[in-house]
Amino acid sequence: MSTGTAQPATADLLDGVDLGRIDAHLAGFAALTEPGPGCTRLAYSPLERQAHAVFAAHMTALGLTVTTDHAGNTVAELPPTGPNTGSGDARALGTGSHLDTVPQGGGFDGIVGVVAAMEVAEIVVRQEAAHRRPWRFVAFAAEEGARFGQACNGSRMAAGLTGAADLAGLTDRDGVTVADAMAAVGLRPDLVDASRWRPEEWFAFVELHIEQGEVLRSQGVDLGVVDVISGSTRLRVRAEGRATHSGGTPMHLRRDALVAAAECVVLGDRLARDPRHHGVRVTVGRLRVEPGSITTVPGSVEFFVDVRDVDSVRQRDTARTLAAEFAALARDHGVALTTEVIADTSPVILPGWVADHIRHACASLGLPYRVLPSGASHDAQQIAHVIPTGLLFVPSDDGLSHVPAEFTPTSQIASGVRTLLAALHRLDGTS
Ligand code: GLV
Ligand code: MN
Ligand code: MN
């Protein structure tokens, strides 16, 4: 792919980034939350839909054409303007991220990328900046895997990785399927196959996101250009023992499902810390104990394991090893254990030529950057299956994310927005 002649973003355009506007958008989204610590705006909840409506209203007010597809993704399009309109390659450029959060999460994961899209759109419209491609600004639906196990539902449907037939098999903790949750907020799960993006319409997509790790902060660098995004394999494990009286049942007669599950949790942690598995991350973040009484030996436990890696072979080998070793451990406790893969997403290597444009954008602004992998999943990871995609990071204070304390200073977000704008400008002038 030729990189053609770069079209530098003008200083005026970059000067247009308004920190007050960014703060106001972030505060507006943060207010759309369930009660409790941090921000809770779950995938395919009414609050997530409200956030999409705020995004749509902003883009409509700017004069963009806004559509929400059957998967719940909202796309705002700005047609080409200026002297080169209609000349040459007219495939679209895109940017955006997601508006849902994990339970008791923060106000930055995903939101920063959508706010960046809103800010880029506002600057380009206000300054009537010329661009020869259509620019599309996207708020993806249901990126977080916290509710249904599978992450990135909206972008997976856009990329054709998840279809209508898959939506009845994924449930939340109350047994609500993705399909039912979508229908409850007015979407059409039966029609999502029509939400698939047409790759031939697209030139490139760039997502801005917070790092959700410590690398940029610890190195004092404000920008990260991602080369590879970790995959994840998620397991649902059910351990069935025997619920009995906690006082009346001697220790040698117990089949305690929680003791078996606890040993599995520790085993997963040990395995991931073993230098031979260096790089894999294993987490058990959700566990349900039945009957959940102080005075009853736990009879059954359900828990979820998240295995993440940038190496797809090691990711899946680790998941298989865990399933086998969990079963052996449980047998020692007289507990029956079953493991099921509920979600599996491959790591993705992002195309170097898109990353080069982002790196050159950083350099053109005199902003130091670091090339790094992403430990978290992203909409960019799904979109990259069908469209050349880049991912730009801004730092996370203390490396924290998925918690109320998640924070990125507005000045760093603004550096990200300027770099995004410059990168989109470069890509706009490229064939
Ligand atoms: C998204 O933040 C993820 O869970 O990786
Ligand atoms: Mn995210
Ligand atoms: Mn997240």
Q: How far is the CA of 350 from the centre of ligand 2 (A)?
A: 17
**So what's the pLDDT on residue 4?**
38
Mean pLDDT per block of 10 residues along the chain (431 residues) reads: 44 89 98 98 98 98 98 97 80 98 98 98 94 97 96 98 95 96 98 97 98 96 98 98 98 98 98 91 98 98 98 96 98 97 96 98 96 98 98 98 98 98 93 58
- Dihedral pair phi/psi, residue 307, rounded to 5°: -110, 120
Give me ligand 1 centre to Cα 69, in Å: 23
- pLDDT of res. 218: 95
- Measured in Å, residue 309 CA sits from the centre of ligand 1 at 13
**How far does the centroid of ligand 1 lie from the alpha carbon of residue 105, in Å?**
11
Closest-lying ligand to the alpha carbon of 376? 1
Report CA dihedral (42, 47, 105, 44) to the nearest 10 degrees. Answer: 20
| Residues linked to residue 66 through DSSP beta bridges, in sequence order | 76
Shortest-distance atom of ligand 1 to CA 110:
2
What pLDDT does 421 receive? 97
Count Cβ atoms below 10 Å from residue 335 Cβ, excluding itself.
Answer: 28
Taking the mean position of all CA atoms in its chain, how far away is CA 422? 23
Nearest in space to 64 (alpha carbons), one of 154, 141, 137: 137
Which residues line the pocket of ligand 1, CB cutoff 6 A? Answer: 109, 144-145, 151, 376-377
Which atom of ligand 1 is nearest the CA belonging to 375? Answer: 5
What does the block give as tokens for 409? 């200073």
User: Cα–Cα distance between 173 and 232 in angstroms, integer?
Assistant: 20
Dist. CA 231–CA 316, nearest whole Å: 9
Structural domains of the chain in order of their starting residue, each with its CATH number: 8-230+348-428 (3.40.630.10), 235-345 (3.30.70.360)
Q: What is the pLDDT of residue 88?
A: 78
The best mutation among 402, 403, 406 to test binding of ligand 1, ranked by most ligand atoms within 8 Å of the C-beta, falls on: 402
Residues 6 or more apart whose CB falls under 8 angstroms from that of 272 comprise 280, 281, 282, 318
Tokens of 203: 């030139």
- Rounded Cα distance between 214 and 209, Å, is 14
| Residues by chain with Cβ below 5 Å of ion ligand 2 | 109-110
Ligand 1 atom nearest the C-alpha of 232 is: 5
User: Are the C-beta atoms of residues 140 and 130 closer than 8 Å to each other?
Assistant: no
Q: Which strands make up the sheet holding 281-290, listed edge to edge?
A: 281-290, 300-309, 231-240, 336-345
Contact indicator for 154, 141 with CB cutoff of 8 Å: yes
Report pTM.
0.94
What angle (nearest 5°) sits at the alpha carbon of residue 314, between those of residues 309 and 318? 95
Query: Contact, 392 vs 178, CB < 8 A?
Result: no
- Tell me the two tokens of residue 182: 């979508």
Calpha distance 109→146 (Å, rounded):
13
Cα–Cα distances in angstroms (integers) from residue 420 to residues 134, 188, 191, 285, in the given order: 16, 33, 33, 33
Token code pair at residue 340 = 């099921």
What's the chain look like in SS3? CCCCCCCCCCHHHHHCCCHHHHHHHHHHHHCCCCCCCCECCCCCCHHHHHHHHHHHHHHHHCCCEEEECCCCCEEEEECCECCCCCCCCCCEEEEEEECCCCCCECCCCCHHHHHHHHHHHHHHHHCCCCECCCEEEEEECCCCCCCCCCCCHHHHHHHCCCCHHHCCCCECCCCCEHHHHHHHCCCCHHHHHHHCCCHHHEEEEEEEEECCCCHHHHHCCCEEEEEEECEEEEEEEEEECCCCECCCCCHHHCCCHHHHHHHHHHHHHHHHHCHHHCCCEEEEEEEEEECCCCCECCCEEEEEEEEEECCHHHHHHHHHHHHHHHHHHHHHCCCEEEEEEEEEECCEECCHHHHHHHHHHHHHCCCCEEEEEECCCCHHHHHCCCCCEEEEEECCHHHCCCCCCCCCCHHHHHHHHHHHHHHHHHHHCCC
pLDDT for residue 431: 58
Closest CA to 108 of 369, 405, 331, 372: 405
Out of 98, 144, 315, mutate this one to test ligand 1's pocket (max ligand atoms within 8 Å of CB): namely 144
